[in-house]
């Protein structure tokens, strides 16, 4: 029995010693060369990356540069592709969620189920705060009851961390496996996996249904490699469900795909429309330790907590002590991708213990806080694209008790990105009323 290996694609060194005996015994396990040659290029079979022969040499062989952080893979290695254990026909799975889907949510939920039954991919464009997670419950229940495997993969760890407890609560008697870079869990062969898109590199033809949540997020949307591994981890006749809060032609035009649009938030209120505020020499002044007057006014006028989004860690770290000094009575914290106390800070924010939270774009999506406003500092910086500005705006007003709040874009010049983000938000508000 090798449940803890099923559906995997692994290097020998990734397989625990006691289980290696299966590699020789079981001829359904496929052993393939980890890298293949194509003229001047070396193609990695784990991630699909095309490496240039001259830049990936090691000890007389080659290694893959793209998936290096998943453990080095070289042309000397083999990948072991381990098949799935045939499932029992049906295993009644129960969803414990007590809430009720709105009419629109129920409609889309049904459309996703129909696509699954017809083995078609499905693209869902649901605005921020539409209640995407709940719309998946009927699908998850059905797939697991059919004895099949479902995965929810997302480019962002924070999204995984938020999804997992919600899914645990909704499917209390179902085994769910949470996998990401530093996850405390290891793969256990469960039929319900929540993971980052990077973790899909270790799966081969495992998922009957693979939900890509926040499919328009970096790095997935622009990564041929991550899209390759997602395809490779899906059963040949399996189907994708793409979820995004911003429209995206690259994903929508995926072949054999049905589409659904949900423009209304679950509580029926409008998406907050960003207010743009021009601040002359904004970045330069901040670096000199000067907070713009307009920024202070906005923060002081609000009784909500604020998340202040910064384009990079350097600027944020410079502004952090100034903000602490300016508002000594407020609880101020800072978070970025490599913060050690990231999970703790997010938890404190969720519990309303922080008044001003400084963040990079890592909190732009997938996280829900009650009763907050947001401010994007240097919204015209190239780090912020249309999708991220729409997502950041969508952090506000998500709770039924606090359905509104401020979205402020501080900028030194209104650019095309800012304008197209605002246009999309207004458009969806209009759509919601139709
Ligand atoms: Zn690779």
Give the mean pLDDT of 377-396.
Answer: 96
Q: How far is the CA of 67 from the centre of ligand 1 (A)?
A: 4
> Residues in the chain, how many?
434
Peptide bond into 219 cis (omega under 30): yes
Q: How far is the CA of 35 from the centre of ligand 1 (A)?
A: 8
The pLDDT assigned to 86 comes to 84
Q: How far is the CA of 74 from the centre of ligand 1 (A)?
A: 9
Yes or no: say if 413 and 382 are a contact pair by the CB < 8 Å rule: no
Give the mean pLDDT of 66-78.
Answer: 95
Going from the N-terminus, what domains does the chain have, and what CATH number goes with each? Answer: 3-81 (no CATH), 103-262 (3.40.50.300), 275-421 (3.40.50.300)
Mean pLDDT across the chain? 94
Q: How far is the CA of 45 from the centre of ligand 1 (A)?
A: 7
Which of 77-91, 105-119, 150-164, 409-423 comes out lowest in average pLDDT? 77-91
Q: How far is the CA of 42 from the centre of ligand 1 (A)?
A: 10
Q: How far is the CA of 66 from the centre of ligand 1 (A)?
A: 5
Burial class (CB in 10 A: 0-12, 13-18, 19+), 320: middle
Q: How far is the CA of 176 from the centre of ligand 1 (A)?
A: 27
pLDDT of 304 higher than 70: yes
The pLDDT assigned to 293 comes to 96
The pLDDT assigned to 412 comes to 97
DSSP 20-78: THHHHH-TTSEEEESEEEETTEEEETTT--EEEGGGSEETTEEB-STTGGG---BTT-E
pLDDT of 101 higher than 60: yes
How do residues 177-197 score in pLDDT, each as one tens digit?
Answer: 999 998 899 999 999 999 999
Per DSSP, the three-state class of 257 is strand
Q: How far is the CA of 156 from the centre of ligand 1 (A)?
A: 20
The pLDDT assigned to 152 comes to 98
DSSP 382-397: TT--HHHHHHHHTTTT
Q: How far is the CA of 425 from the centre of ligand 1 (A)?
A: 38
Strands 177-179 and 192-196: parallel
Q: How far is the CA of 81 from the centre of ligand 1 (A)?
A: 15
pLDDT band at 247 (very low <50, low <70, confident <90, very high): confident
The pLDDT assigned to 158 comes to 86
pLDDT of 387 higher than 60: yes
Give the mean pLDDT of 307-313.
Answer: 97
How do residues 28-44 score in pLDDT, each as one tens digit?
Answer: 999 999 999 887 899 99
The pLDDT assigned to 182 comes to 87
Give the mean pLDDT of 306-319.
Answer: 97
Yes or no: say if 6 and 187 are a contact pair by the CB < 8 Å rule: no
The pLDDT assigned to 277 comes to 98
Give the mean pLDDT of 78-102.
Answer: 90
Yes or no: say if 311 and 332 are a contact pair by the CB < 8 Å rule: no
Instruction: List the alpha helices (DSSP H) in 234-385.
Output: 249-252, 282-287, 293-301, 313-326, 342-350
Structure tokens of 84?
Answer: 């799935």
Per DSSP, the three-state class of 10 is strand
pLDDT of 274 higher than 60: yes
Question: Which residues, 6 or more positions from 230, have their beta carbon under 8 angstroms from its beta carbon?
Answer: 153, 197, 200, 210, 212, 220, 240
Q: How far is the CA of 111 from the centre of ligand 1 (A)?
A: 35
pLDDT of 139 higher than 90: yes
Q: How far is the CA of 6 from the centre of ligand 1 (A)?
A: 21
Yes or no: say if 393 and 128 are a contact pair by the CB < 8 Å rule: yes
Give the mean pLDDT of 134-156.
Answer: 96
Q: How far is the CA of 229 from the centre of ligand 1 (A)?
A: 10
Q: What percent of the chain has pLDDT over 70?
A: 99
pLDDT band at 1 (very low <50, low <70, confident <90, very high): low
Per DSSP, the three-state class of 87 is coil
Q: How far is the CA of 198 from the centre of ligand 1 (A)?
A: 11
Q: What are the two backbone dihedrals, phi and then psi, of residue 52, each rounded to the nearest 5 degrees?
A: -80, 130
Q: What percent of the chain has pLDDT over 90?
A: 82
Q: How far is the CA of 204 from the centre of ligand 1 (A)?
A: 14
Per-residue buried b or exposed e for 135-174, using 16+ beta carbons within 10 Å of the residue's own CB: bbbbbbbbbbebebbbbbbbbbbbbbbbbbeebeebbeeb
Q: What is the side-by-side order of every strand in the sheet holding 207-213?
A: 177-179, 192-196, 150-154, 207-213, 234-244, 121-126, 257-262
Q: How far is the CA of 382 from the centre of ligand 1 (A)?
A: 28
pLDDT band at 11 (very low <50, low <70, confident <90, very high): very high
How do residues 317-372 score in pLDDT, each as one tens digit?
Answer: 999 999 999 999 999 999 998 888 988 999 999 999 999 999 999 999 878 899 99
Burial class (CB in 10 A: 0-12, 13-18, 19+), 399: middle
How do residues 377-386 score in pLDDT, each as one tens digit?
Answer: 999 999 999 9
């Amino acid at each position: 029995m090798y449940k803890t290996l099923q559906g995997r694609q692994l290097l020998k060194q990734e397989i625990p010693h006691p289980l290696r005996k299966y590699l020789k015994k079981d001829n359904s396990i496929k052993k393939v060369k980890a890298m293949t040659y194509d003229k001047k290029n070396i193609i990695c079979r784990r991630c699909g990356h095309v490496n240039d022969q001259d830049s990936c040499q090691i000890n007389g062989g080659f290694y893959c540069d793209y998936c290096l952080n998943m453990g080095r893979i070289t042309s000397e290695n083999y990948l072991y592709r381990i098949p799935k254990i045939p499932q029992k026909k049906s295993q009644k799975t129960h969803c414990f969620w007590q809430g009720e889907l709105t009419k629109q949510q129920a409609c889309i939920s049904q459309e996703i189920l129909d696509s699954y039954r017809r083995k078609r991919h499905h693209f869902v464009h649901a605005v921020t705060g539409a209640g995407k997670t709940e719309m998946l419950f009927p699908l998850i229940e059905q797939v697991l009851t059919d004895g099949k495997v479902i995965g929810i993969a997302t480019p962002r760890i924070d999204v995984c961390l938020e999804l997992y407890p919600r899914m645990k609560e909704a499917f209390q008697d179902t085994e769910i496996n949470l996998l990401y870079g530093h996850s405390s869990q290891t793969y256990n062969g469960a039929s319900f996996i929540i993971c980052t898109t990077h973790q899909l590199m270790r799966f081969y033809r495992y998922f009957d249904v693979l939900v890509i949540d926040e499919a328009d997020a970096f790095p997935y949307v622009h990564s041929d490699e991550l899209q390759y591994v997602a395809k490779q981890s899906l059963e040949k006749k399996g189907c994708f469900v793409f979820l995004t809060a911003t429209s995206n032609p690259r994903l929508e035009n995926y072949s054999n795909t049905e589409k659904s649009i949900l423009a209304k938030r679950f509580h029926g209120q409008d998406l907050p429309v960003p207010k743009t505020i021009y601040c002359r020499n904004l970045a330069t002044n901040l670096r000199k330790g000067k907070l713009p007057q307009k920024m202070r006014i906005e923060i002081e006028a609000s009784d909500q907590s604020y998340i202040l989004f910064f384009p990079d860690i350097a600027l944020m770290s410079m502004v952090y002590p100034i903000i602490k000094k300016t508002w000594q009575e407020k609880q101020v914290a800072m978070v970025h991708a490599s913060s050690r106390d990231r999970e703790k800070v997010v938890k404190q924010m969720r519990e309303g213990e922080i008044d001003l939270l400084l963040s990079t774009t890592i909190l732009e999506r997938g996280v829900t806080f009650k009763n907050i406003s947001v401010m994007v500092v240097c919204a015209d910086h190239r780090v912020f694209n249309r999708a991220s500005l729409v997502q950041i705006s969508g952090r506000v007003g998500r709770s039924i008790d606090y359905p509104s709040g401020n979205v402020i874009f501080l900028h030194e010049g209104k650019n095309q990105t800012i304008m197209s983000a605002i246009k999309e938000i207004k458009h969806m508000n209009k759509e919601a009323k139709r």
